[in-house]
Structure 1
């Protein structure tokens, strides 16, 4: 831990800090701290800035996806959602159900085919539905351009902003995309309330989160929360603000703001002796490997491991590609690591503003690295993430 603590302080110190601020928390199944470190500031402007701490509010970006998965599984336990019933998608998400599939390769004229395979909520939760991000895939950018549009996924109103062709037949590939945004829409339609309202009642209040978590950062600020500015580093080494546009819709795939304390409360419940959010049986479902029976999807996922290695650190880079699968809430490590030790069963994912979470039920470890730097995988921030992972596993007795 000393190495992580030292490097964190060095990275956030001086007139030209390498990163703005980090809050890093890890706890065991009894709620006791394994690691708790914070260093840096909440704003580049020294007049506005305060020291970052566990109550400072961070943009979760794609760390939101885990909470959306939990929301969906609570509907499953309530008997309102079946993960494998395609009629649910047909009924509630007709705009998704009717989409064609792009068959052409990048750089070629776009061609399409009809969807012939059933589409389910499980596909959406595991990024195997074919729904991509328009700002990541050149074919989707081409589709937008033909309509005189730019990318819409992060700024447009959903579900309309999500309604563009799929990239493959359901279950026949893996692509990081808008599946969780569609799940958020599904949760709202089935529950009859907004996604944010459902999360407040069915998740945040249950584990004791205060109001420093939600989709509306202005409301969080009105409630007294301090939002940590998202920063980026220029060629000269100076930090500057990375503008985060105000969300027009509540996005299940990325859009929540939360204090590290609140987000860690949610993670902690997943390893608690008596979990409140999901039954032990449903937690087994959340953490189960999902792609073992889908060889095309699994192969596609493993080919893309290098693309997200900067966000998941040594949890993925210290194991072979064959040790990586996907659960309903994030990537799943299926083998132990010679470097880190007993990490089998760890579920992990990160966020576009430089955050990382991971949970291992068997070892009783829940951890969150809350950064506020863009783009994700930035050298120094990624290096600190790696030190954080090693520090947590060292103290948790992973070897």
Structure 2
């Protein structure tokens, strides 16, 4: 099968070809050969032009060599797509970031802040929360949470209702109703917690546009960008890789086969926080649009000014996540890292203890997929694999280190 990318001569775009080649060797010896990651797929580009592509491993348990057009569960890499969709509506003045979410979610009119209780004890009647705004949702400063945070009684009630993975059990109206009856962890805008906020934002996109989220994505993002294989669910599960789980000290364990997966069945609603499946070629197109200021091949997705606002730190007083985050888990580092409108970004490269550029923005998915966009250097990366959880290995740090070590001509 033909590779999905025609790579330029690395030297012509300021990369050292020999140093790039070390990445594939590293992935093979450190991860694929010992079974830690059953498959890996990576593309590195500059100004949208691929300079390095590597694919290793198999589609899954007893299956063929990894296909170049393999489909992956990209999980929380859905969140930046949902955030872009919402900002398209902001650009059309159908909604504003500073407006209260009750504009489209009247169910959220009587939110309260946690004041104790939970488990066998009813939640205490907390103090009323001031109105949650759309900017609180898109920045994860809403006071909502994830059951997977697994820290306290609010997380526990999210797990009881299975709110992290609700799309197979309830429709979006029921989902919002249940959330509206649960206490917030903190007052909106007063902290940062990785949460179901982007799922709620996706439902806002649906109510504002009058379209199911997947249909909105297809019409306004995927079709214009030529992302032909990205959707909620899969139509060809023979191309879907098997999903695996981390096992300490051993090879990863397969937990869901691609063929016959439930992802072939539509959910009761589309999860803006983590429901998409897609190919590396498609997500490269998405990152190409991002590094290109919101446009690709004549298709304008968002304006450069909108994208600049999205990749700017919106934490109060330019704080980083060490100062604001209450999360046990998220798809970002904390030190030197801010958060914008749907992306984490580097605000202090020295504090991250990794090679990076100020203003670089990124996110990842629960199955260890990842991407980053460096506007200063014009460098993008998309990495695909399928092992849960993404905290299993330091693969993202290692890839960034090796990619930047191969950058021979810096624009900084």
Task: Report the TM-score range of the alignment, normalised by the length of the smaller protein.
Answer: 0.7 to 0.9
Q: Is the 8 A contact 2:158 2:164 kept in 1?
A: no
Unaligned runs of 5+ in 2: 1-19
Q: So what's the TM-score if we normalise by structure 1? A: 0.84
Tell me, yes or no, if structure 1 residue 278 matches structure 2 residue 302. Answer: yes
Name which of 194, 200, 203 aligns with 1:182.
200
What is the match of residue 175 of structure 2? Answer: 161
Deviations 1:143-187 (A, max 9, x none): 468xxx443321342342351322111111111101100110000
CA distance in 2, matches of 1:236, 1:340: 26
In structure 2, relative to structure 1, the CA distance for the partners of 1:106 and 1:80 (3 Å cut) is same
For the 8 Å contact 1:12–1:40, the answer to whether it is kept is no
CA pair 197-96 structure 1, distance change in 2 beyond 3 A: same
Q: Is the 8 A contact 1:347 1:359 kept in 2?
A: yes
> By how many angstroms is 1:40 displaced?
0.8
Separation (CA, whole Å) in 2 of partners of 1:294 and 1:131: 22
CA contact (8 A) 2:320 2:337 kept: no
RMSD (CA atoms)? 2.8
Q: Closer, same or farther in 2 for the Cα pair 1:13/1:177, shift >3 Å?
A: closer
Assess if the C-alpha contact under 8 Å between 1:159 and 1:182 holds in 2.
no
Question: Would you say 1:19 and 2:33 are equivalent positions?
Answer: no
Q: TM-score, normalised by structure 2?
A: 0.81
Does the 8 Å contact 1:101/1:168 carry over to 2?
yes
* Equivalenced residues, count: 370
Q: Shift of the alpha carbon at 1:42? A: 1.1
Cα 1:390–1:75, aligned 2, differ >3 Å: closer, same or farther? same
Q: Matches of residues 196-207 of structure 1 in structure 2 within 5 Å?
A: 196-207=214-225
Partner of 1:369: 383
Change (3 A) 1:340 1:299: closer
SS at match of 2:218: helix
Match of 2:94 among 80, 93, 97: 80
Summarize the alignment of residues 308-347 of structure 1 with structure 2, pairs less than 5 Å apart: 308=330, 311-312=331-332, 316=333, 321=335, 323-337=336-350, 340-347=354-361
Provide closer, same or farther for how the CA distance between residues 74 and 184 of structure 1 changes in structure 2, counting only shifts above 3 A.
same
Task: Quote the Cα distance in structure 2 between the aligned partners of 1:7 and 1:128.
Answer: 38
Partner of 1:5: 24
Q: Give distance in 1, aligned partners of 2:294 and 2:161.
A: 47
Q: Distance in 1 between matches of 2:58 and 2:99?
A: 47
Relative distance call for 1:207 and 1:333 in structure 2 (3 A) is same
Structure 1 window deviating more from structure 2 (5-14 vs 73-82): it is 5-14
Show CA shifts across 1:50-73 (max 9, x none).
Answer: 222442111011111000010011
Shift of 1:20: 0.9
CA distance 1:129–1:240, shift in 2 (3 Å)? same
Give me the whole-angstrom Cα distance separating, in 2, the residues matched to 1:328 and 1:172.
16
The answer to whether the aligner puts 1:42 opposite 2:59 as a matched pair is yes
